[in-house]
Structure 1
Amino acid sequence: MVLLREGLCPGLSEDMVKALQGECIRTVEDLVSSDAEELAQKCSVSYKALVALKRVLLAQHTAFPISGADLYEELLSSTSILSTGIPSVDKLLDSGLYSGEITELAGGPGTGKTQMCFSVAVNTAHELKQNVLYIDTSGGVCAGRLLQMLQAKTSSTAEQMKALQRIRVFRVFDVFTLLCCLQNLRSNDLQKGSVGGGSVKAVIVDSVSAVISCVLGGKQTEGMSLMMQVAFELKMIAKDFNIAVLVTNHVTRDGNGKLKSGLGQSWSHVPRTRILLQRVEQPGAASSLRTATLTKSSRQSCNLMEEFNLSLQSEEEVKSGCSGKRKFNTDS
């Protein structure tokens, strides 16, 4: 449902909006379904202008059919895939993070969610030379750690500094500020096509649950509405600007004691892809070992799992497969 407002289309002035609202015409649906001649008389506006306005709004907001082949070709030409910087995790994601989609990392404290966000940011900024918008809701961003990861990729101080400049950090600590930040990005910064030079390829929210979970349940009656507003803004950013959106979430346990992503059933439909991160609790295992389990995907079989090491690896270790990673299916 699209509300009528000044500037929504040519000819829709503030006076016109007020006149229409006076006759209970508040949305595009109300206007296009109304009798133009009768409405023109009631609102004391030009019948010709009203008909022209209805035609423009119909053209802008009517869904036109498109063939599956055309849709597929558009998808191939517009989709970008961003590597996470961790080869085993890229396998789970069918090569990496897809633009136009929301990917979620879920896990308990210390499972490596923020570390993986850093890896995505560093890889996008350094390897792809593209901008990253990093929204930090829990104070977890550490410039020193980002620099350390860049130093492992290049010894050039100039390249390190350029990559750091491509990572733009926003600090927000409540859901209202998060909403304002996302809305400003969608209506201002991202509309310009670039932020500080170069295009934006990834938006990271670490973590979305830190500011949403506190307004859900109890007497917080508006919590669900706020959560879905955040979901809407993230989806629009991903879709309208062809950006890969990565969010992190906490975990809870279901009735059987199995770990699941937090924020409830409504939020579970928001991400297109979800990965569950856990520590490796085997005797003698390194403290930096983690498992990544694919729990939701439209491209891969779910419940695939990869084991990887969070500690920094040299390029030779990655190429030779010395990280001790293995792939298996938890259904087996």
Structure 2
Amino acid sequence: ATTLSPDLHPLLTEYVLRLLNKKQVTTVNSFLNIESCDLAKIANLPPVAITTIKNHLEQSFWDSIYKGVSSNSRRRPAIATGITALDELLRGGLRPGHIYDLCGESCAGKTQLCLTLAANVAFAHSNRPVYFFDTRSAFSAIRIQQILERKHKDLSEQRLAQTLDNIKVEHVFNPELLVQAVEQLVKTKRAEDDPAPALLIIDSLPSLWYLYHNAESIGVPFGLLEKLICALRQFGMQHSVAVLLVNFTVQARDGAAMQNERRINSYGRYSAMGHYWESATGTRLYLMAKEEANDIGERMVQVWKSSHLRTGAEAVIRITDEGVV
């Protein structure tokens, strides 16, 4: 086990390490296994600082952490999305145990991309389901069926039914219930005939939190977000699950975002979920319509930030009757 030291992160000062040592938090694994809110009290640091340290440690010690918590002793291969350009952008597909933040404006095609991913992964991984948390009644089994039938011309009724059954949908319209549902996934011991999902999708987060906060507000309830990301991170790493979260973007106006130290992308937009969320996920993707090619459904996916992908890298995809291709 790797011992915590000042060399691992600037915020891990000698003073902070002494406080952690008093509570027997001496290794990277022990640090990552304690909830951030508890660590913040122990180390006398703000919760956002703890999250920053955790993200850095997870990125630096990915292989050893993954081996320590995965049911397998090795990393699983990337989960192909079935969308050629996107898989190339993602270096083979979605990384198991990794959390992706899919951002975009309204009508950019985020839900269409989620439905396509659900259909493709459920079809390709018949031994592992896809979990789809629908927070705004956007999930469409009819659209999933259309994608499958258009993409697989000789699809039998039995295989279609099996694939549809392989997508487990849960409708959640309350942030507290979403957190409870994900925490329950972490606590539940899985039987041999109940495999963990290959992919977990939440479409979307802001639609829940905006029930209580103005869309321009950055005061998203920190406690719930902290619990959610901790549970998602633990579930993903324990069971080699790729996690995709749908998010919105906000247009930066009059330098307000800059004054608040928000991370603005190259198109002048920032993530809608507040300061904390900017460092909570490992990879953030930005989906946008190509204005000059809207008639053929073209969209562009850009790597906004990532621990393992080149920032600014782009791929062009299209929304068709077969889903996103």
**Structure 1 and Structure 2 fold alike (TM over 0.5):** yes
Contact 1:103–1:271 under 8 Å retained in 2: yes
Which among 103, 108, 111 is matched to residue 111 of structure 1? 108
Cα distance per residue 1:169-207 (max 9 Å; x no partner): 00001101111111222212xx2156x744421111110
User: Within 5 Å, which residues of 2 pair with 1:274-285?
Assistant: 274-282=284-292, 285=294
Which among 225, 236, 239 is matched to residue 238 of structure 1? 236
Residue in 1 aligned with 2:299? Answer: 290
Which has the greater radius of gyration? 1
RMSD of aligned Cα (Å) = 3.6
Q: Which amino acid aligns with 1:83?
A: A
Which among 66, 74, 77 is matched to residue 74 of structure 2? 77
**Which of 284-293 and 155-164 deviates more?**
284-293
**Which of 211-220 and 201-210 deviates more?**
211-220
Residue in 1 aligned with 2:251? Answer: 253
Residue in 1 aligned with 2:201? Answer: 204
SS of 2:131 mapped into structure 1: strand
The change in CA–CA distance for 1:301 and 1:220 in structure 2 (over 3 A counts) is closer
Residue in 2 aligned with 1:15? Answer: none
Contact 1:94–1:299 under 8 Å retained in 2: no
The change in CA–CA distance for 1:260 and 1:70 in structure 2 (over 3 A counts) is closer
Instruction: Tell me the distance in 2 between the aligned counterparts of 1:231 and 1:271.
Output: 8
Aligned length, in residue pairs: 259
Instruction: Tell me the distance in 2 between the aligned counterparts of 1:276 and 1:222.
Output: 21
Answering whether residue 178 of structure 2 is matched by residue 178 of structure 1, we say: yes
By how many angstroms is 1:156 displaced? 1.0
Contact 2:125–2:198 under 8 Å retained in 1: no
Q: TM-score, normalised by structure 2?
A: 0.69
By how many angstroms is 1:69 displaced? 11
Residue in 1 aligned with 2:280? Answer: 270
Gaps of 5+ in 1: 1-29, 35-53, 324-332
Residue in 2 aligned with 1:226? Answer: 224
Q: Which amino acid aligns with 1:176?
A: E
The change in CA–CA distance for 1:33 and 1:266 in structure 2 (over 3 A counts) is closer
Instruction: Tell me the distance in 1 between the aligned counterparts of 2:232 and 2:30.
Output: 23
Contact 1:273–1:296 under 8 Å retained in 2: yes
Q: Which amino acid aligns with 2:103?
A: A
Cα distance per residue 1:211-264 (max 9 Å; x no partner): 123445799988121122211111111122221111100110224571222112
Which among 123, 128, 134 is matched to residue 125 of structure 2? 128
By how many angstroms is 1:71 displaced? 2.7
Which among 137, 142, 146 is matched to residue 135 of structure 2? 137
Q: Which amino acid aligns with 2:175?
A: V
Instruction: Tell me the distance in 2 between the aligned counterparts of 1:73 and 1:240.
Output: 8
Instruction: Tell me the distance in 2 between the aligned counterparts of 1:303 and 1:172.
Output: 33
Gaps of 5+ in 2: 1-18, 33-59, 256-266
Instruction: Tell me the distance in 2 between the aligned counterparts of 1:205 and 1:285.
Output: 26
Q: Which amino acid aligns with 1:299?
A: H
Higher relative contact order (CA 8 A, sep 6+): 2
Q: Which amino acid aligns with 2:81?
A: T
The change in CA–CA distance for 1:302 and 1:143 in structure 2 (over 3 A counts) is same
The change in CA–CA distance for 1:83 and 1:220 in structure 2 (over 3 A counts) is closer
Cα distance per residue 1:108-145 (max 9 Å; x no partner): 11111111111111111111212011000010000100
Answering whether residue 210 of structure 2 is matched by residue 213 of structure 1, we say: yes
SS of 1:264 mapped into structure 2: coil
Q: Which amino acid aligns with 1:114?
A: T
Residue in 2 aligned with 1:149? Answer: 147
**Which of 213-222 and 95-104 deviates more?**
213-222
Residue in 2 aligned with 1:5? Answer: none
Identity %: 23
Cα distance per residue 1:291-312 (max 9 Å; x no partner): 1111111222211121211113
The change in CA–CA distance for 1:222 and 1:86 in structure 2 (over 3 A counts) is closer
Contact 2:298–2:316 under 8 Å retained in 1: yes
By how many angstroms is 1:62 displaced? 5.1
Instruction: Tell me the distance in 2 between the aligned counterparts of 1:259 and 1:58.
Output: 39
Q: Which amino acid aligns with 2:64?
A: L
